[in-house]
Amino acid sequence: MGRILAIDYGTKRCGLAVTDPTRTIATALETVPTHRLFDYLNSYFAKETVDTIVIGEPKRLNNTSSESTKNSQLFADRVRKSYPDVPVHMYDERFTSKLALQSLIQSGQSRQTRKDKAVLDRVSATILLQDYMQSLSLKP
């Protein structure tokens, strides 16, 4: 069984999280500048087996699409073309950034760490992946 990789897509940088091979635990992986993301993914996929890619789908509170949603969908299309053998799923990422900040506060991280957007992106990707994994366990 391969890993699940989650991507919190952004136009400047992307937060990445991944499961262990048994798909039990989601762990923050890296924050990568968006323009270098495909180089990073190619290198990672050469070393690790990834069976599924989950990309955050930003939506407004009323569940409608935004400009960010369109950017994420275009990115997902590019990922699907680049890795046609790996299923790509869009998953609602509302509130992951706020939850990531709360998580950093509760874990006692310094104010400087909490202001680091790269850290927030990794933690957001981890929360996205945890939510996705939980949704899989709820399916009959």
What tokens does 37 get?
A: 């993301």
CA atoms within 13 A on the CB side of 55: 22
Residue 13: pLDDT band (50, 70, 90) is: very high
pTM confidence score: 0.82
Say what the pLDDT of residue 136 is: 82
The strand ranges marked E within the chain are 3-8, 13-19, 26-33, 50-57, 88-92
Domain boundaries, given as residue ranges, for the chain: 3-138
pLDDT tens for residues 67-77? 778 889 999 99
CA-wise closest residue to 8 among 137, 134, 87, 120: 120
Asked if 125 and 56 touch (Cβ cutoff 8 Å), the reply is yes
Token code pair at residue 35: 């323009």
Q: Which one is predicted more confidently, 57 or 139?
A: 57
* CATH class for the domain made up of 3-138: alpha beta
Q: Which of 14-18, 82-86, 106-110, 133-137 has the lowest mean pLDDT?
A: 106-110
- Tell me the average pLDDT across 103-117: 59
